[in-house]
Chain A
């Protein structure tokens, strides 16, 4: 009896200590976010002369200002990313299904051709891809973002979908074929519904990837109305500069909002996708 309670006491002490450590770590890691939110509500005067105070009154004009500058590229970004994610999912499902269920000459070679791409650093072909985009006549069009994104983004999707579909019982597809179901029908009616969780994971991961892209859009998009939000925020904030710090942080907050909303609804998917996917890939 005595021994057990001693163990219990030790356990409680341990739990308390790790809780304290974690709370401290959490506070520190949230500092940039807090800073962003607090600063976005402050006026310029308060930022300079009363740095640590909470905003004395909430300066909504910062958000009005930033949103006025950013809503166009935000709408554009969300549109472009929606198209790119949908196309990525279609390609991932198609490729994953073919590699998982069919057996054809050259299958391994083709699969390796995709796998190898995961090991090649993207910067290698920065100059050449830029010149190719100009050659294809895609420069300064939205396709200059979408097509390279999905070309690279589908690879991880195909790998994950293949693993998932391969783990499904083989009889499922054989039975369907005996009943005269074509490949496309089998894909749409059997594979896709069963692979829905992994497709959702791919969607979330790729959405975050595309949303975070910065250098490539900066290189291939020149017109402001076609620019993505990350670049637009950079342009806006370096223009706002020291003149309007609150609006600058409001711009950061606006750019963060879509991912925050997405994460609140899909956090489980994202966290599980990361835990499972990266190790297998």
Chain B
């Protein structure tokens, strides 16, 4: 009875712990969220951003001629020009949106409905603009060639007020909060404070090309190409400066700060996004794949966009502690599982019978502890490098896991979506067709040549001769498979390839082909690789089968004056059936997952002519980063493999 009470308490404790860790897991999961997609789409590549905090309108200038306004995730209006919107500036009070476009124009729109107000033809590529304090003047910078820039001033009627030529590229223009003087960023790495008469008041020098300048409240920020960033005031006094931890050699393309000016975000042309905290420490880095071009601070984060159809919100404050929360969540996950197991154990322990059985089992385990200790390394490795990957693949095949969407918290279950994609996208079906060709020919190859050769070698007279032939037939495997594929790639080469040269020597030029580059011949070239198909393994396995048949059987057949032909078909072939069925299974499984030779010979091409599912899987991992889809392909291959293995087992058993 006492014991029962003990287990009762244990059960209750475990139950509480299960609930606690479960809730904690769910609660802290949100905190691991660093980047969230806003789910708005312009349909093209984006370029620049502006945000109206009062009306919560987001303006997105795109790389492909569109300017789109969104409110609450819904499109408000869109308008079109003939170039990329390189810079857009919003003035809420006068309801104006000023847009610099690479089609050599500056456009002014009514911000609320997108109707055009003004169109200035600057006749040069416009890279930046700003509007002065009382909204009477537009400062516009242009670029012509690599080191020629102009600074224009226009009146609000579109009249050119002044034009100053610079013999160095200008990277950005920005009015000070006094509304009269301006900052200019140059390719020489300087930020100049100038008057409207272009008289230089002051200069801040950095060592590398200024990429972007932004205003945040009363202070200004600039970033240069190598990732040094500076916060400065109107007198160009540096208030803060730091540098991203540029281990990836990124070329910086943009800068953003949060509303409070604490977190600094730096984007790069390669798509890296760096987040620095108030102590200039890098707290986060993520690869967004496409160039990040602009940031804009909003109430609860920072929106950013780039050369893709996305606008995302980044929660800089969460990022500061993201590692901590991620570890916490992982710890909670594991402890949840552990206490759940404990709970189940405790519940079963309430039965005296179960208690006795457990004690016996534990005793037995203790006696044999040496066995478990000796197996620890094996199973630790198998768990870490085999089973974790397998289980994770089985689960994540049903999620939208990808290189961009790489945090567990953000992954969503999408049901059978990935599997549907296989049939709608078409690569998988092409791949299946090729796989069937390869499988059929592969089976034909293993079932013929190695079998014949094994039989021939078996029938040779003299052990030494047998050994020498066996050795010679196996010898070609010393050429590693990958190298062999590379040699065959050269055999098929149109100009220095063996095949075309032989055809040329025989005066059969009309038959010469670009074997691997022609969609009609490529897959057959892959099939033909390895001619005359004496697979060393199949050969040895068949040979092993032949020598295991006892001589008595053969001799008794000989006495019945059976020919070698008869013996082969009626005695030997039936007796090596296990070998045949194993080789068939191995062949099918091997063909299904091996794509090394196709990768080397054609890379799947030309076009998709030699695609196979395994290659598609690899490409989705290594190139496209669609991990979830790749895992789904893996699951399909797994199902095929299991089906084939089971079928093979059943067939060989039935025949026995």
A residues bordering B, Cβ < 8 Å?
Answer: 11, 14-15, 18-19, 21-22, 25-26, 28-33, 35-36, 39, 47-48, 51-52, 91, 94-95, 97-98, 102-105, 107, 110, 113-114, 117, 119-132, 136, 147-148, 150-152, 154-155, 158, 183-184, 208, 211-212, 214-215, 218-219, 230, 233-234, 237, 242, 245, 248-249, 252, 255-256, 259-260, 262-263, 267, 270-271, 274-276, 278-279
- 23 inter-chain pairs at a CB distance below 8 angstroms, sorted by A residue, are A25-B449, A25-B532, A25-B534, A32-B479, A35-B487, A36-B479, A98-B374, A107-B371, A110-B375, A113-B379, A113-B382, A120-B638, A125-B386, A127-B401, A128-B388, A128-B627, A152-B386, A208-B477, A215-B595, A252-B487, A274-B541, A278-B540, A279-B544
Complex contacts, A256 vs chain B, CB 8 Å: 478-480, 483
Complex Cα distance A132/B378, Å?
18
| Cβ distance A254 to chain B, nearest Cβ, rounded Å | 10
Contact status A28-B361, CB under 8 Å: no
Q: Which residues of the other chain, B, contact A263 by a CB distance below 8 angstroms?
A: 475, 477-478
Cβ of A98: which chain B residues have Cβ within 8 Å of it? 371, 374-375
Any A CB within 8 A of the CB of B498? yes
CB-nearest residue of chain A relative to B641?
A121
- A35–B634 CB distance below 8 A: no
CB distance from A34 to the nearest CB of B (A): 10
Contacts of B490 in A (CB 8 A): 35, 39, 245, 248-249
List the 8 closest A-B pairs by CB distance, nearest first.
Answer: A275-B544, A125-B389, A124-B634, A104-B368, A151-B385, A151-B381, A129-B389, A128-B392
- The yes or no answer to B59 lying at the interface (CB within 8 A) is no
Q: Is the Cβ of A252 less than 8 Å from the Cβ of B486?
A: yes
Residues of chain B having any CB pair with chain A under 8 Å:
361, 364-365, 368, 370-372, 374-375, 377-379, 381-382, 384-390, 392-393, 396, 401, 406, 449, 453, 456-457, 459-461, 469-484, 486-488, 490-491, 495-496, 498, 501, 505, 531-532, 534, 536-537, 540-541, 543-545, 564, 578-579, 582, 586, 589, 592-593, 595-596, 599-600, 614, 617-618, 620-622, 627, 630-631, 633-635, 637-638, 641-642, 645
Task: Tell me the nearest residue of chain A to B497, going by C-beta.
Answer: A51
**CB of A48, distance to nearest CB on chain B (Å):** 7
Q: Name B532's closest neighbour in chain A (CB-CB).
A: A28
A211 near B480: Cβ-Cβ < 8 Å: yes
Residues of B contacting A32 in the complex (Cβ-Cβ under 8 angstroms): 476, 479, 484, 487-488, 491
Contacts of B578 in A (CB 8 A): 279
Q: Name the CB-closest residue of B to A230.
A: B482
**B453 closest partner in A (C-beta):** A25
Which A residue sits closest to B634, measured CB to CB? A124
Q: Are B368 and A121 in contact (CB under 8 A)?
A: no
Q: A31-B498, A114-B378, A275-B544 are in contact. List 19 more A-B contacts (CB 8 A).
A: A25-B532, A26-B473, A91-B378, A104-B372, A113-B382, A123-B634, A126-B634, A127-B631, A128-B389, A132-B384, A150-B381, A183-B374, A234-B486, A234-B600, A248-B490, A252-B479, A267-B475, A274-B537, A275-B541
A11 — which chain B residues lie within 8 A by C-beta?
461
